[in-house]
Structure 1
């Protein structure tokens, strides 16, 4: 007996492909099992005509509860770093490679601990990112962290070796899983650390300076 193909976000993409329709449809996505425990889908947000899209790994605890991307502690770091790099967040669009919060309960208390999404979950969710790019049509994509970078470039990508420089888009990997939403490939992609890495760093000042330096490369490419 033939096995049924695994479900992905492509099964939940709407006929309309504007951001409003995509956001509404994503609210009922069951393309992977993460929806079972997450509070809600956390879709992207920002300028629908942004020249730059920033994509992170997944929503965190605060984002999961509020339903908005980058509104927790890491979002505060990102806001400050973009301002210091000369990027106006109001004119950007921010999202995540995975739209549901993956976590494990802490041994004590109600705190939920972040758990890195697996490759299956990243691939299952990728049609949403592809659809967002097709709707926004940015010139530049900024990948925040290793998970987001691998979601775009593939699992062999090494952030430590290729961060902070403008890279050509890997069309085949980026558009894999694309469905009826159309397609758009940014002119360039830049990978840097996730702002949460600054919060975990032993030397936060050094880590923050590196994030700002990378984002300045992005800002200069848009000037």
Structure 2
């Protein structure tokens, strides 16, 4: 059975996690509430909600797209190969991984089953409706963590913050003004870059693509050093 497709659901306009987000409490309260979220159909096929992880006082939020297969099974973000690569890139760029909070724009794994690949669960990008439905969780996380900087990892993360017109190829490697909703957080801004999974898919160009990721993260590190 393939994973759910939000665009095919007749109730897509009603997707919204807001009723599941508690009005008060810290990150632990959010995490517990998110485990019961049914704000869009993705919860039906996913193993579990994969909420953000990190310190309440983290200086940087690393924002990805959605959990992958390993994250869905383990219930933690960025624990697969892409996550390990991201932490290595952060260290190389002189961003302390211990000073980061990692999360995703969408908290459930969206996938299709591939018959050609032994019925493996293959990642499928979330739709704009699913991004919008899950946005209340991300907004609540950012309000509590109050990061100095957000790193948007890939196009979907950027669209979650800035809307459908966002293009990571045009915006990467610079400190962008935070979106209107986040102005009150007093964050320095957003640095966009590629998702670390893009490095793993780069084949013979992997070293070059990885170097570009590190270069973008160094822009974020430099912004933090000016605080």
TM over 0.5: yes
The answer on whether the counterparts of 1:171 and 1:185 sit within 8 Å (CA) in structure 2 is no
Q: Residue in 2 aligned with 1:216?
A: 218
1:73 aligns with 2:81: yes
Q: Residue in 2 aligned with 1:62?
A: 70
Q: How many matched pairs?
A: 213
TM-score (norm 1): 0.91
Q: Residue in 2 aligned with 1:179?
A: none
The answer on whether the counterparts of 1:85 and 1:215 sit within 8 Å (CA) in structure 2 is yes
The structural deviation recorded for 1:157 is: 0.9
Q: Residue in 1 aligned with 2:3?
A: none
Could you tell me which of 124, 137, 156 is aligned with 1:147? 156
Supply the distance in 2 between the matched residues of 1:35 and 1:131 (Cα, whole angstroms).
Answer: 19
Q: Residue in 2 aligned with 1:98?
A: 106
Deviations 1:76-100 (A, max 9, x none): 1101101110011111100000000
The answer on whether the counterparts of 2:168 and 2:192 sit within 8 Å (CA) in structure 1 is yes
Q: Residue in 2 aligned with 1:21?
A: 29
The answer on whether the counterparts of 2:150 and 2:189 sit within 8 Å (CA) in structure 1 is yes
1:51 aligns with 2:59: yes
Q: 2:77 aligns to what SS in structure 1?
A: coil
Q: 2:98 aligns to what SS in structure 1?
A: helix
1:12 aligns with 2:14: no
CA pair 23-107 structure 1, distance change in 2 beyond 3 A: same
Supply the distance in 2 between the matched residues of 1:163 and 1:33 (Cα, whole angstroms).
Answer: 31
CA pair 77-13 structure 1, distance change in 2 beyond 3 A: same
Supply the distance in 2 between the matched residues of 1:39 and 1:194 (Cα, whole angstroms).
Answer: 23
The answer on whether the counterparts of 1:198 and 1:204 sit within 8 Å (CA) in structure 2 is yes
CA pair 5-106 structure 1, distance change in 2 beyond 3 A: closer
* Structure 2 stretches lacking a partner, 5+ long: 1-10
Q: Stretches of 4+ moved more than 6 A in 1?
A: none
Q: Residue in 1 aligned with 2:5?
A: none
TM-score (norm 2): 0.90
The answer on whether the counterparts of 2:13 and 2:129 sit within 8 Å (CA) in structure 1 is no
Q: 2:103 aligns to what SS in structure 1?
A: strand
Q: 1:190 aligns to what SS in structure 2?
A: strand
* Structure 1 stretches lacking a partner, 5+ long: 176-182
Supply the distance in 2 between the matched residues of 1:4 and 1:208 (Cα, whole angstroms).
Answer: 37
Supply the distance in 2 between the matched residues of 1:82 and 1:5 (Cα, whole angstroms).
Answer: 38
Could you tell me which of 101, 116, 122 is aligned with 1:113? 122
Supply the distance in 2 between the matched residues of 1:91 and 1:199 (Cα, whole angstroms).
Answer: 24
What is the CA RMSD across the aligned residues, in angstroms?
Answer: 1.7
Deviations 1:49-87 (A, max 9, x none): 111101000000000000000000100110110111001
1:89 aligns with 2:97: yes
Q: Residue in 2 aligned with 1:201?
A: 202
Q: 1:55 aligns to what SS in structure 2?
A: strand
